[in-house]
Amino acid sequence: MNPLLSLKDLKQINIDYYTAAHMARQNGKFVAYVNAFTPVELLYAMDFIPIYPENHAVILGARRISLEVAPEAEKLGYSVDLCSYARCDIGSIITGKSPTFGLPKPDLLLVSNSQCGTLTKWFEVLSRMYGAPMVLIDVPHSGNGERDQEAEKYIKGQLMELVDVLEGISGKTMDPERLKETIRLSREASDLWTKVLLSATHKPSPITVFDEFIAMAPIVAQRGTKVAVDFYAKLLDELEDRIAKGIGAVSRERFRLFWDNLPIWPELRRLSEFLDSRGAALVTSLYTWAWATLAVGEEDPFQDWAEQYLYTANLHLQRRIETYVEYAKEYCLDGFLYHSNRSCKMVSQDIPELRRAVTERTGIPGVIIEGDHNDPRLYSIESIESKIETFLEVLEGRKHREG
């Protein structure tokens, strides 16, 4: 394995981010809990620091603190079948166990159901817990991505109303020039992140999806700030240097694989080493690409956000199939690893159909592995490794046959 040096900067970036959130009130700023597909550029422009309870849950999962906090939420009646991010978050609030000293109390909860319905329900629990106001951006699912002008109008109306809510909480008026600036920075970061993801089309790939999972924190949480731009510019320099020198992220790249769905955070290192030792490079994934498509224009950002949440972010099976078929070609994939994630029904329930269709269209095999993004009690890592091992043997056989 060849670790990327730029990733070391993330430690300080994260410390600064969580410290700023904890110090928000002292600095005349506000805290908004958010999820994916919410207009963070607008929040930054209006002095709200967007905080992702999901990201905090990831930290708990990656450090396996999930094993201590999730059961505490279950004791309160939150079923083990609920998303493990939510159980970890609620358990962390109850116990106070958190490497970031918890999260600051929110002034606002802002959620979009374009990502999933789970977040709406989870935030409803938090809203009652903190007595904080909540705004749902309701995005009607556009079926197979067909144009829905009524939905665009409905979403845009909710976004315009959000400005009033933010102004009401902060007592400040939205400054269009500041919004333009955060949008510009967001687009710059998104463009850089896109180039980072595309760098993996090279052989050998200078980066793996495991690196991307770690590197994605700023594009998620700090889109619209200079921090994100500077970080990705530096990372891209390192990747371009690797490409020029022919250095791969995996020691001896033999297989190029796709990872579907969220990571299994508690097993990130173990799976990364497991795959590296077998020459398997995860070169791209749906999850990391999701953050490359969120930039909007300065002219009518509200319309752009509405269209983005409705048509781009909103998962459509047919479009997902088309995208995977394109990835297969662009990244020269040998196989697909589909993570059937108990905690993310939204992204997982389509997987059997997805695998069937993608393999039919591309001839490239895929394997479904049963896991969970944060709760190690809900899967067996040994079974996952064994399944991947067998899959790699199948791929090896195909390579031999194809010469």
Q: Give all strands (DSSP E) within 279-323, no chain letters.
A: 280-285
299 binds another protein, rule: CB under 8 A: no
The dihedral of CA 52, 54, 57, 61: what is its sign? negative
168 binds another protein, rule: CB under 8 A: no
| CB nearer to another protein: pick between 117 and 176 | 117
306 binds another protein, rule: CB under 8 A: no
List all residues 6 or more positions away from 161 whose beta carbon is below 8 Å from its beta carbon: 135
* Minimum distance from residue 20 beta carbon to another protein (Å): 27
199 binds another protein, rule: CB under 8 A: no
What would the two tokens of residue 191 be? 């463009």
* Minimum distance from residue 297 beta carbon to another protein (Å): 23
Q: How far apart are CA 123 and CA 109, in angstroms?
A: 7
Which residues on adjacent β-strands are paired with residue 336?
258, 366
Number of residues that bind another protein (CB under 8 A): 50
Place of tokens 């479009």: 319
Q: Which residues of 83-116 are buried (b: 16+ CB within 10 A; e: fewer)?
A: bbbbbbbbbbbeeeebebebbbebbbbbbbbbbb
- Are 70 and 375 in contact, with CB atoms under 8 Å apart? yes
**Of 35, 84, 113, 182, which one interacts with another protein (CB under 8 A)?**
113
Q: Give all strands (DSSP E) within 45-133, no chain letters.
A: 48-51, 108-112
**Of 29, 105, 184, 345, which one interacts with another protein (CB under 8 A)?**
345
**Of 150, 177, 382, 402, which one interacts with another protein (CB under 8 A)?**
150
313 binds another protein, rule: CB under 8 A: no
Binding mask 118-137 for another protein (x = CB under 8 A): x-xxxxxx-xx--x--x-x-
**Of 154, 165, 214, 253, which one interacts with another protein (CB under 8 A)?**
154
- Are 217 and 184 in contact, with CB atoms under 8 Å apart? no
**Of 141, 180, 184, 234, which one interacts with another protein (CB under 8 A)?**
141
* Minimum distance from residue 312 beta carbon to another protein (Å): 16
The dihedral of CA 393, 395, 399, 401: what is its sign? positive
Q: Is 89 left (phi over 0), alpha (psi -120 to 50) or beta?
A: alpha
| CB nearer to another protein: pick between 169 and 198 | 169
**Of 25, 147, 153, 361, which one interacts with another protein (CB under 8 A)?**
153
* Minimum distance from residue 21 beta carbon to another protein (Å): 23
**Of 84, 158, 225, 284, which one interacts with another protein (CB under 8 A)?**
158
367 binds another protein, rule: CB under 8 A: no
Q: How far apart are CA 217 and CA 215, in angstroms?
A: 6
357 binds another protein, rule: CB under 8 A: yes
Q: How far apart are CA 282 and CA 25, in angstroms?
A: 41
77 binds another protein, rule: CB under 8 A: yes
112 binds another protein, rule: CB under 8 A: no
Binding residues for another protein, per CB under 8 A? 76-79, 81-83, 86, 113, 116-118, 120-125, 127-128, 131, 134, 136, 138, 140-144, 148, 150-151, 153-154, 157-158, 316-318, 340, 342, 345-346, 348-353, 357
